[in-house]
Amino acid sequence: MVKCPRCGYDNHSSTTYCENCSYILKGSSTGQKKGGWKMGTVKKIALIIGIIAIALILFSVIYNFTQPSNEESLNVIVADSNVQEGSSHPYEVKVVYDGTWYSKSGEPSSLQEQSNQGNHTFNLDCAAWDKVYVLAEKTDGASGVMKVQLIRNGEVVAENSTTDGTNQITINYQS
């Protein structure tokens, strides 16, 4: 005879459930878990943190592979939906002058300084969508013509000139 631990009823030794209250009796293999995951709380937390870490690493790898390269991100889509190939330096400044000159140019918050003599063309460290500022002045005080051109992807987008020996040339441009 097997006594039920819940209600105390005496059951036959072959019964699986108490005949009085339906409690699963000891010694019965039905309904008992054998060899399940017996894991402590610390191990469960470590397992969850490990799964989250693996998910974040996978997300990071997938995200990095789906981002465009620097060259691709500088391509410009114009109004007719054509892609206009950009470059890492889409703007250039061309100074046409026989004497010595000085310039500050680029995106207004980070201007590049140039000082040179004679005709010179140089790249600006600006993106195609940046506002561009150019300030050029003669440093020799001569009265010859000084011309400054702002070139974007090979095309002149702004131009200014002066013949005065002390005057400055400025160009403010935003596409």
Does residue 110 carry a pLDDT above 80?
Answer: yes
**Rounded CA separation 74/87 (Å):** 6
**Proportion of the chain above pLDDT 70, given as a percent:** 78
Assigned token pair, 79: 């109004």
Instruction: List, for residues 42-88, the tens digit of each pLDDT value.
Output: 889 999 999 999 999 999 999 888 877 655 555 555 555 444 444 56
- Specify the number of domains making up the chain: 2
Q: Are residues 162 and 101 in the same domain?
A: yes
Assigned token pair, 110: 């980070």
Structural domain of 29 = 1-36
Is 6 within the bounds of a domain?
yes
CATH code of the domain containing 103: 2.60.40.1800
The reported pTM is 0.49
CA distances from 169 to 109, 120, 159, 173 (A): 19, 15, 9, 13
Q: Are residues 170 and 93 in the same domain?
A: yes
What is the number of other CB atoms lying within 10 angstroms of the CB of residue 146?
A: 24
Q: Please name which of 157, 159, 161, 136 lies closest in space to residue 146, comparing C-alpha atoms.
A: 161
